[in-house]
Amino acid sequence: MTTYDAIIVGAGHNGLAAGVHLASRGWKVLVTEAAATAGGAVKTLELTEPGFRHDLAAMNLSMFAGSAFHKTYGADLAAHGLSFVPAKHCFASVFRDGSALGVSTDLAETSAAIAALSQTDAAAWQAMLKEFSDTAPHLFALLGAPMPSLSAVRTVWRAWRALGTTRFYALARLLVASPRGFLDGHFESDKLKAMMAAWGLHLDFAPDISGGALFPYLESMANQAFGMVIGKGGADTIITAMTGLLSARGGTVLTGAKVARIITENGVAQGVELADGRRFYARKAVIANLNPKLVFGKLLAESATPQAFNRGVEDFRPGPGAMMIHLSMDALPDWTAGAHLKHYAYVHIAPDMQMMSRVYAEAKDGLLPVEPALVVGQPTALDPGRAPEGKHVLWVQVRVLPAQIRGDAAGIITARDWDSAKEAYADRVIELIETYAPGTRQKIRARTVHSPLDLERENPSLIGGDSLSGSHQLDQNFLFRPLPGWSRYKMPVKNLYLCGAATWPGAGTGAGSGFLLAKMLAR
């Protein structure tokens, strides 16, 4: 009988972060992964042509680079190949009149672009950045604390003492404000507000949904202050480094190992049984780095957990679906707004608040949006080694799509399943890019389309193509994630724990839940 201290189900970056920390504290660790390779949503593959390396889902590694996990293990990870490429020009939005607005790490450059729209807004941007330098430590401390916990209470107390009552209340309001409400209260330019609000769609927040202001604020200010980074050679640099470090610390990663059930005896999680019949046992912890819907009632019988808990899992909502379109290119798009846009890591095509509200409403009604919201990633603008010399890859993320198609808001696509509809919808996406960058279609060498259904097939935790592993709206965030009363990773079955994007602090590449859980266990 093979026994470990901890068995981690799912070799996404949170599971690997937990494994690295536990192994570093002397635990004997096994990480199982159903797929042929580790990484979960962080993978880099030659999806179109040989020599063209595409980040399958996650591309932006800024959260990982700024994480507590990286702060602790950065030097060790670098020794195992971790390498970042910084982006001076972080993100931009293009608008219907052929103009654009972007954020670079040069404050004077960003401020000048905003001042061309509004001198008042340029001053407000600089004031917000100055305030960010005071509030950021408290925000990041809160996002890095278990929820709820004494640490979180201390963070709130320190924020109030440091900021004073007025500024503390302003920070508290930020946490519950909608993107539109927050941005209307600070700026006058519709273009500046749209540029920032586009980040809300990354986390299931249309302009008027409460709680959606935080991410646009953090991304805008953090990119201005610190910049953005992507992985040298691909986002999988973090996975390669973590698996290498885990192995060096005595841990084991077993790929192609689908877990069929979690073994329990007398109400205690004892280990896992694989689909091929092999069994592994855990002395201290079984950690599921999975969407809770894949664990409870699936790997565990419903009778193993309370009925109220099971109902909560059943009610756990996914966010909207996403589509990934990967293009090998002879050249980067020629953006109408100017050649300078070729230097940006991200270009958002979400030109106004009305469009963002409309696309969200259409998707929630089960309709293919007429005008989808796009995040166009240009990784080879920063890291040319991802493609043959002189060539490029384009990373196109289509945000806010229905998991199940009930119709087409444009009345053109008749298919009602993603396998039949995805190529036609990808054509719509390319046509939209063509509107803002004429001639792009002629530069495409090959393309691969991953529909919401394809993304779920690749990673079952992405239910309905939801890259967030669960909506981040207020009733499913903070101490309510994934369920009220179960936000500290420990589940109703003894020795069973949950981590990953479905748990606090949620989606992204920050490895927050895996590292927080591992620290709590190793303590």
Q: What is the pLDDT of residues 241-298, one digit of tens each?
A: 999 999 999 999 999 999 999 999 999 999 999 999 999 999 999 999 999 999 999 9
Spell out the domain ranges in the chain.
2-84+234-316+470-522, 106-226
Residue 1 pLDDT more than 80?
Answer: no
Residue 179 pLDDT more than 90?
Answer: yes
Q: Answer for the pair 250, 23: CB distance below 8 angstroms, yes or no.
A: yes
Q: Answer for the pair 224, 133: CB distance below 8 angstroms, yes or no.
A: no
Residue 150: pLDDT band by 50, 70, 90 thresholds? very high
State how far the Cα of 515 lies from the Cα of 21, in Å rounded to an integer.
7
What is the fold, at CATH topology level, of the domain defined by 2-84+234-316+470-522? FAD/NAD(P)-binding domain (3.50.50)
State how far the Cα of 513 lies from the Cα of 521, in Å rounded to an integer.
12
Backbone CA torsion sign across 432, 436, 441, 445: negative
State how far the Cα of 481 lies from the Cα of 223, in Å rounded to an integer.
26
| The pLDDT value given to residue 27 | 98
Residue 359 pLDDT more than 90?
Answer: yes
State how far the Cα of 119 lies from the Cα of 129, in Å rounded to an integer.
16
Interior angle at CA 340, CA 441 and CA 83, nearest 5: 90
Residue 225: pLDDT band by 50, 70, 90 thresholds? very high
Q: What is the mean pLDDT of the chain?
A: 98
Q: Answer for the pair 197, 347: CB distance below 8 angstroms, yes or no.
A: no
Residue 371: pLDDT band by 50, 70, 90 thresholds? very high
| The pLDDT value given to residue 197 | 98
* Half-sphere exposure in the Cβ direction for 156 (13 Å, CA): 10
| The pLDDT value given to residue 89 | 98
State how far the Cα of 281 lies from the Cα of 97, in Å rounded to an integer.
62
* Exposure class string for 311-329: b at 16+ Cβ within 10 A, else e: ebbeebebbbbbbbbbbbb
pTM: 0.97
Using DSSP bridges, classify how beta strands 259-265 and 268-274 pair: parallel, antiparallel or unpaired. Answer: antiparallel
Using DSSP bridges, classify how beta strands 89-94 and 346-349 pair: parallel, antiparallel or unpaired. Answer: parallel
Residue 523 pLDDT more than 90?
Answer: no
- Span 432-466, pLDDT tens digits: 999 999 999 999 999 999 999 999 999 999 999 99
**In the 8-state DSSP scheme, what is residue 479?**
G
Mean pLDDT score, 99-124 = 98
433: tokens are 């890019």
